[in-house]
Structure formats: C-alpha cells, structure tokens
C-alpha cells in the first residue's frame, strides 16, 4: 500500500529565496527556515475556474485591446503543454499572462520607462488548457526595458505567466524568455535560477506553429510539481 505525496519545490532548479544580486530580495526574502507542513485537504485542492466565461479574445493579445487599429510589433504565437513532473497532462487549468509591449513599456501606472504606450495593446490575457493540457496564445513579442536594480540594468524580453495546476502546491508564477537573448547573461532574476534550471525558462523557436505571412511560433512547456508514492507507515 502507498500514499500519494506531492513533491516539494526542487531546489536544484528553483531559485533561492535570497539572491542578493536581485536587490529587492534582500529585505523581502524570508530568513527563517520554512516549516514543513503535513499535507492535508487544503494542499490537495485548489481553485477551479471552469465556470468563468473567458472573453472571445482573452487568449489573443493582438485583438483583446484594440481601439483603432492593430498593435505594433512582431506578432508571435506561443504554445505548449502543461504537465507535471510525472508527465501527466494538466487539463482545464487556467493560464494567465502579462507582458510589456513591443517597445518595452508596461501599461501599469507605476512603469515610468520613457517608451511609448500602444493604444491598441494592453498586454494581458488568459486561457484554459484543453483536455490534453495544451494551450496557445497570440501576442506581440515584448521589448526589453530598463530597471533600477543596478547601473544600466535591462530585463531580457519576457512574458509573465501564472498557473494554478491541480492544487495549490502546483501554483506557479514564472517568466518565459526567448532563445538567444543577449541580456539573459546579465539578468539577476534569470541568473538566480540554478544553472540546471535555466534552460527550462527559455522558449524554443517553433517553425511548425509559425503561421505563414502572419506570426512566428514559439514553444514553451510548463512542468508543475508532481507526486510520488510512499509506503503507508
């Protein structure tokens, strides 16, 4: 007989809480050891968003904020699968994303970067994975932008993602990067991930999903925490 135990964060690929080169962690990272929690119903369940009626263009950021034209920039398709460490697909789970526009400017009111806003681009969207754990978004390739972490600091192009998965242990907020970005080697947020995990955050160019005369394709798969069996005590 055995008992299903959800895996903890794999700290061989997950970033540490404190990463001093990313200076905001210094006053915000917990300093005391985490308390190991015996998993109960709360950890084996999580919110389900099946009842929420997604908007027709929630998954298409090139269309969901149009006012008087098309957003500027390079159209891309981002697709992939959500599975867990065991390779099981995670169907019908919510994926949310947000990003800067093609000029590297966020709509967010506190972003004061002197780059133009795009009146036809909000930069946020969402979708549900299908029955096989598959998802697909249309968007505009985000631009790089400066930030105040250190002198001449620029974030690499990235898209923020939020996933729920099968229960609250699966919760994941992460960032997807683009292949060949020269800023990755200087980015303390990306570099906070141990070397073994870094490639997992970089999408792959995907000609098979590239749409002729329309948009370049990228593949980015998510792997959420899985589970293992332990014998009953």
Partner 1 sequence: MENSTAPTAATPRIGGLQTPSQTVGPYFAYGLAPEQYHYNFRSLTNNELVDPLQTVEAITIVGKVFDGQGNVIPDAMVELWDANNQLFGRFGTGTDVEKRFIFKALKPVSVNGDAPYLSLILFMRGQLIHSYTRIYFSDETALNANDEVLLAVPAERRHTLIAQKTGNYYTFNINMQGDNETVFFEI
> Which residues between 161 and 220 bind partner 1 (CB under 8 A)?
162, 168-169, 171-175, 189-190, 192-193, 196-198, 200-201, 204-210, 218-219
Report in angstroms how near the CB of residue 232 gets to partner 1 at its nearest: 18
Q: Considering only residues 98 through 157, tell me which ones interact with partner 1, judged by CB under 8 A.
A: 98, 100, 106-111, 122-124, 126
The C-alpha atoms of residue 199 and residue 181 are separated, in whole angstroms, by 12
39 part of the interface to partner 1, by CB under 8 A: yes
Closest of 181, 198, 200, 189 to residue 80, by C-alpha: 200
Of the CA atoms within 13 Å of residue 17, those in its CB half-sphere come to 9
Name the catalytic one among 59, 105, 155, 225: 155
Name the catalytic one among 138, 145, 177, 218: 145
46 part of the interface to partner 1, by CB under 8 A: yes
Q: Considering only residues 9 through 38, tell me which ones interact with partner 1, judged by CB under 8 A.
A: 9-10, 12-17, 19, 22, 24-32, 34-38
Return the CA Rg of the chain: 19
Closest of 77, 24, 88, 108 to residue 205, by C-alpha: 77
Question: What DSSP assignment string belongs to 41-85?
Answer: HHHH-----TTS---TTTTBTTTTT-SSSPPPS-EEEEEEEEEET
The C-alpha atoms of residue 229 and residue 182 are separated, in whole angstroms, by 42
83 part of the interface to partner 1, by CB under 8 A: yes
Name the catalytic one among 66, 75, 113, 160: 160
Report in angstroms how near the CB of residue 119 gets to partner 1 at its nearest: 12
User: Any catalytic annotation for residue 227?
Assistant: no
85 part of the interface to partner 1, by CB under 8 A: yes
Query: What residues are annotated to the active site?
Result: 106, 145, 155, 158, 160
């Amino acid at each position: 007989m055995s008992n299903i135990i959800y895996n903890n964060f794999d700290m061989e690929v997950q970033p540490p809480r404190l990463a001093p080169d990313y200076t905001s962690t210094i006053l915000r990272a917990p300093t005391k050891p985490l308390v190991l929690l015996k998993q109960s119903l709360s950890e084996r369940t999580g919110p389900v968003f099946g009842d929420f009626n997604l908007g027709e263009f929630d998954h298409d950021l090139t269309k969901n904020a149009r006012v008087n034209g098309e957003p500027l920039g390079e159209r891309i398709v981002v697709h992939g699968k959500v599975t867990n460490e065991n390779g099981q697909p995670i169907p019908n789970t919510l994926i949310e994303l947000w990003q800067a526009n093609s000029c590297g400017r966020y709509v967010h009111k506190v972003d004061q970067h002197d780059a133009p806003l795009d009146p036809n681009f909000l930069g946020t969207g969402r979708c549900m994975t299908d029955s096989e754990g598959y998802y697909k978004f249309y968007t505009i390739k985000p631009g790089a932008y400066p930030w105040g972490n250190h002198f001449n600091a620029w974030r690499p192009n990235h898209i923020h993602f939020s996933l729920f998965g099968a229960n609250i242990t699966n919760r994941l907020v992460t960032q997807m990067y683009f292949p060949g970005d020269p800023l990755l080697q200087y980015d303390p947020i990306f570099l906070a991930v141990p070397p073994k995990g870094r490639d997992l955050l970089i999408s792959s160019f995907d000609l098979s999903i590239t749409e002729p005369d329309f948009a370049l394709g990228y593949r980015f798969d998510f792997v959420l925490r899985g589970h293992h069996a332990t014998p009953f005590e």
